[in-house]
Chain A
Amino acid sequence: MLNALIIDDEMPAREVLRELLQATGEIEVLGECANAIDALGAIYRLRPDVVFLDIQMPRISGLELVGMIEAEVLPHVVFVTAFDEFALQAFDEQAIDYLLKPVDPARLTRTVARLRQMRSAPAAARVLASATTPLRQIPCIGHNRVFLLPVDEVEYLCSETTGVRVVGVRQSGVTELALKIIESRTAFFRCHRQYLVNPDHISELVFAETGTCEIHTRSGKRLPVSRRHLRDVKDFLSLP
C-alpha cells in the first residue's frame, strides 16, 4: 500500500479522487488539504509517499508548493488539473504523472502502476524537484490564521524547536518551510547556524569587546553572528 495525500481546493474534486483511489485497493488516503499552506504542514507531518496535487489553488499554486519542500521530504507528485495548459511546466517540476480532471479511472490505474514501479526502484532513481523559481512569499501560521509574508518584508528567520520563526517588519509567524529551502530560493544568507538574514534589512554590523559580533536590522532587531559564519557575512557585505 502507498500512502497518499490529496491536495485540492475544491471539495467535490477531493471527494471523487479519494473514492477513486480507495477503489484501486493500492492507495491509502492519509488526508486531504484545501490549500498549499495546509498541505505544507501535512506533508512534513504525515510524510506521504505520494501527493495528488491540484495546480490552481488560492495564493500558492501546486507548482509553487513543490518548490517549497526540501528534496529529502518531497514525496512523489502527481499533478491533477482541469486545464492542460500547465502540462509542460508540470513535467519541468518533475512530477511522476499528470492527470486531467475529470479523472478517468482507467487512466488512474496506469498512474498507480507507475507509482508501484517507482517504489520498487532504488532510492537514487527517485526524481527530485528542481528549485527553479525564486520565492516571492513565505506562507506563515500566526495566531489562529495563515498568511503570506512577502519575502522583501522579512527581516530574518530563525530555526527554533517549534519550527522556523519568520520575523517581518510588521508581523511575524511560524513557517513550515525549511531554512535550507528559503536560503536556496532567496537572496537571504546565513549568519548563524539557526539564523537566515535578509541583507536588504541590515543596518549595521556591531563587534563587541568579547570578540562576538551582532547584526542590527533597520528596525533595531539584533541577531547573532557565529564565528563560523563571520567570514561569509563579511564577504557578503564586501568587508575586509
Chain B
Amino acid sequence: MELNTIALMSSLFQQMCVYLVVAYALTKTPLFMPLMQVSVRLPHKVLCYVIFSGFCILGTYLGQEVDGAIANTRATGAVIGGIMGGPVVGLLVGFTGGIHRYSLGGFTGLACALSTMAEGLLAGCVHRYLFQRERTALLLSPRLLFCVTLLAEVIQMLIILAVARPYDRALHLVSQIALPMILTNSVGAALFMRLILDRRENMEKYSIAFSAKALRIAERSVGLLLKGFDADSCKLLARIVREETGVGAVAITDCEKLLAFTGIGEDHHIPGSPIASEHTFLAISRNEVVYADGNEVPYRCSISRDCQLGAALIIPLRGEENRVIGTIKLYEPRRRIFTKLNRTLGEGIARLLSTQILIGKYEEQKQLLIHSEYKLLQAQVNPHFLFNALNTIAAIIRTDPNRARTLVANLSSFFRTSLKRNSVEVSLRDELAQIDAYLQIEQARFGARLSVCYSISEELLPARLPTFTLQPLVENAIKYGVSQMLSPGHIHIGGERTAGGGLHLFVEDNAGLFEEYDSPGDGLGMNIVDRRIKIRHGENYGVSVECEPGIRTRVSVLTPFVEA
C-alpha cells in the first residue's frame, strides 16, 4: 500500500512534468498572449475554453490506470480554466473533460465526469467572487491555485465515494489515489500559474527595456531636428540611434537621397547619393514599414556586392498630414538577424522622429512669422519717420544749410544701417549709433521740446543684442511720449550690468502716457521685441514697462550679457 502510493505519486509527477513542458511550449506562442491575463472578453473566453479543455484531455490521456480507474492530472486544466475564464468557462472545460473521461468507461467514469465539472465550476466561482470584489490580481497567485486545486481534488474524492459503485472498491481506490492526486494536481496548477506569471514578467521587462531605450534616444535627440530635417541634423541623429540600438548601421533618407549613414558600409553609402534600394522606394510609396529580414525577404545592398549588410528594416518618417518625408533604415550585417525588440524599437524611433520633425517645422514657421512681424514694424515706422525728417530738412535748409546737410547725413546713415541689418545680432555700440542718428533728426524736428541723455558706460558697448531691440523702444518714447507732451520732453537711455550676469537697458521718457496709449494692451509693438528675446534666451529675459501716469514711462530690456 505505502509503496504503491509512492510509486503512483512519482508517476503522477512525471505526468505533470510532461504536462508542464507542453504548457511551457505553449507560452512561447502568440496563441498564449491573451491567456496571460484574466479573460474578460468573449473571444478570449473561447480561446481559454479551447486551450484548457485540451489540457484536461491531455491530463486524462497521460493518466495511469489504477484498479480500473485512472489516476490523472485532469483537474489542473479544469481549475485553471475556471480561474482564468469564470464559472461558464470552468463548467464547460469541466464538462468537455468530463465527457471525454466518461467515454473511456470504467467504474468511476460517471463520478470522474461529474467531479471534473464540479472542479471547473468551483474554480469559476472563485473567479467570480474575486472579480466582483475587484481583486482579480489575486486570481493569478500560484498559492491561490494550490489551495483551490487542493479543495477541488478533495471534493472529487468525495464525489467518487458518493457516486462510484461498488462502494468498497471506490473506497479502496480513493485510499490509494487520494494523496498522490491531491498533491500533484495542486502543485501542478501552482507551477502552471508560475509559468504564466514568468512569461508576463518577461514581457514587461522587455517593454521596460524598450521604453528606456526610446526615452534615451528621445532625450539625446531632443531639439536636434528643430533646426530642420537636413544632412547635418540627420548625421547626428543616425549616430545616436545606432549607439542606442546597437544595430549594424543606421541610415536616414529624404524621399530622393541619402541624408546620413553611419555604421557598417559607411565607405560606399555616401550621403547625398540618390536612393537605390527597391525596399526604400516601397516604404516611401506605400507609407509602411518594409522589413527585409534576409531570410524570407532577401536583402542585398544595392550599391556594393561586398557590402556586409544582410538585413534592413525601413521605416517611413511622416511629416504634416502623415505624408512621407523620408525614411530611417536600420541595418544588420549578414551574420546577425534582427531581434523582435529592435523591430518594435525601430518603429517607435520613427514615430518619435516624425513628431520631432513636425515640431521643427512649427518652430520654423513661428520664426518666420516673427521675422515678418519685424519687417512689418519697420515698414510701419519708417515712412512716417522719413516724411517727418524730409519736412524738417526742407524747413531748415534755407535758414541753416549746414545743419540741413548734417541731417541729411544722419538720415542716410540711419537708412543705410537699417537696410544692411540682416544679421540676428548687433553690438550695443552699433545699436546706439543707429539710435543717435535717429534722435539727431527728431531733435531737429522738435527743437527745445526734446532733450536726450545717455548713461551707458564704455564697458557695456561690446555687448551683443538681438537687432531692433532698443530702436523700437526709442521710437515709442518719441511717438507716444515726447511728441504728445505740452511741456518739454526728455528721453533718458541707460544701461547697467545686473548681479546675475545680465544686461539691463532702459529707455525712459517724462511723459508717462504709456497706459493711455496702450489701451488695446499690445504693448505698442514691444511684444515682438519681448517675444524675440524670450525665444532666444528664455522666459527670464525680455521687456518690462513701468509707468507713472503723467510723470514717466520706463521700458526696460533684460538680456544676457554676451560680449562679441
- A residues near B, CB below 8 A? 9-13, 15-16, 19, 34-35, 37, 56, 58-59, 82-83, 101-102, 145-147
Is B483 interfacial (CB 8 A cutoff)? yes
A58 near B484 with CB under 8 A, answer yes
A83-B384, A102-B390 known; 4 new pairs, CB 8 Å cut-off, are A34-B449, A59-B486, A82-B388, A147-B486
For the A-B complex, the count of residue pairs with Cβ-Cβ distances under 8 Å equals: 53
A102 near B395 with CB under 8 A, answer yes
Query: Which residue of the partner chain A has the closest CB to B387?
Result: A82
Interface residues of B in 441-460 (CB under 8 A from A): 444-449
Interface residues of B in 472-498 (CB under 8 A from A): 483-487
CA–CA, A58 and B481, complex, Å: 9
Candidates A10, A12, A58; contact of B485 at CB < 8 Å: A58
A13 near B391 with CB under 8 A, answer yes
**Chain B nearest CB, measured from A140 CB (Å):** 11
The 6 A-B pairs at the shortest CB distance, nearest first, are namely: A12-B395, A102-B394, A16-B395, A101-B391, A11-B447, A58-B484
Query: Which residue of the partner chain A has the closest CB to B390?
Result: A102
Query: Which residue of the partner chain B has the closest CB to A37?
Result: B486
CA–CA, A16 and B390, complex, Å: 13
CA–CA, A60 and B434, complex, Å: 31
Q: How many residues of B contact A (CB 8 A)?
A: 22
Q: Could you give 24 example pairs across A and B, Cβ below 8 Å?
A: A9-B449, A9-B483, A10-B391, A10-B395, A10-B445, A12-B391, A12-B395, A12-B396, A12-B445, A12-B447, A15-B395, A15-B399, A19-B398, A37-B486, A56-B483, A58-B483, A82-B387, A82-B391, A83-B384, A83-B387, A101-B387, A102-B391, A102-B394, A147-B486
CA–CA, A101 and B388, complex, Å: 9
**Chain B nearest CB, measured from A171 CB (Å):** 12
B427 CB contacts on chain A under 8 angstroms: none
Is B392 interfacial (CB 8 A cutoff)? yes
Query: Which residue of the partner chain A has the closest CB to B485?
Result: A58
A35 CB contacts on chain B under 8 angstroms: 486
CA–CA, A9 and B392, complex, Å: 12
B399 near A10 with CB under 8 A, answer no
CA–CA, A16 and B396, complex, Å: 8
Query: Which residue of the partner chain B has the closest CB to A58?
Result: B484
B394 CB contacts on chain A under 8 angstroms: 16, 101-102
Query: Which residue of the partner chain A has the closest CB to B516?
Result: A59
Query: Which residue of the partner chain A has the closest CB to B445?
Result: A10
CA–CA, A233 and B512, complex, Å: 39
Q: A15-B395, A16-B395 are in contact. Are A59 and B447 (CB under 8 A)?
A: no
B392 CB contacts on chain A under 8 angstroms: 10, 12-13
Secondary structure call for the B interface = helix
CA–CA, A87 and B388, complex, Å: 17
A12 CB contacts on chain B under 8 angstroms: 391-392, 395-396, 444-445, 447
A16 CB contacts on chain B under 8 angstroms: 394-395, 398
A10 near B486 with CB under 8 A, answer no
B483 CB contacts on chain A under 8 angstroms: 9, 56, 58
Query: Which residue of the partner chain B has the closest CB to A60?
Result: B486
**Chain B nearest CB, measured from A18 CB (Å):** 10
Candidates A59, A83, A101, A146; contact of B484 at CB < 8 Å: A59
B391 near A146 with CB under 8 A, answer no
A102 CB contacts on chain B under 8 angstroms: 390-391, 394-395
CA–CA, A231 and B392, complex, Å: 57
Query: Which residue of the partner chain A has the closest CB to B388?
Result: A82
CA–CA, A34 and B489, complex, Å: 14
CA–CA, A83 and B390, complex, Å: 12
CA–CA, A150 and B213, complex, Å: 68
Query: Which residue of the partner chain A has the closest CB to B489?
Result: A58
Most chain A Cβ neighbours within 10 Å, of B392, B483, B484: B392
CA–CA, A145 and B396, complex, Å: 30
Interface residues of B in 205-241 (CB under 8 A from A): none
A9 CB contacts on chain B under 8 angstroms: 446, 449, 483
CA–CA, A83 and B486, complex, Å: 22
CA–CA, A35 and B487, complex, Å: 10
Query: Which residue of the partner chain B has the closest CB to A147?
Result: B486
**Chain B nearest CB, measured from A35 CB (Å):** 5
* 1/0 contact string of B377-403 vs chain A (CB within 8 Å): 000000010011011101110110000
A59 CB contacts on chain B under 8 angstroms: 484, 486
A58 near B391 with CB under 8 A, answer no
CA–CA, A12 and B399, complex, Å: 9
Query: Which residue of the partner chain A has the closest CB to B448?
Result: A11
CA–CA, A101 and B484, complex, Å: 20
CA–CA, A188 and B483, complex, Å: 31
CA–CA, A147 and B399, complex, Å: 33
CA–CA, A12 and B387, complex, Å: 14
Query: Which residue of the partner chain A has the closest CB to B444?
Result: A12
CA–CA, A56 and B392, complex, Å: 15
**Chain B nearest CB, measured from A162 CB (Å):** 21
Query: Which residue of the partner chain B has the closest CB to A11?
Result: B447
CA–CA, A115 and B444, complex, Å: 32
Query: Which residue of the partner chain A has the closest CB to B386?
Result: A82
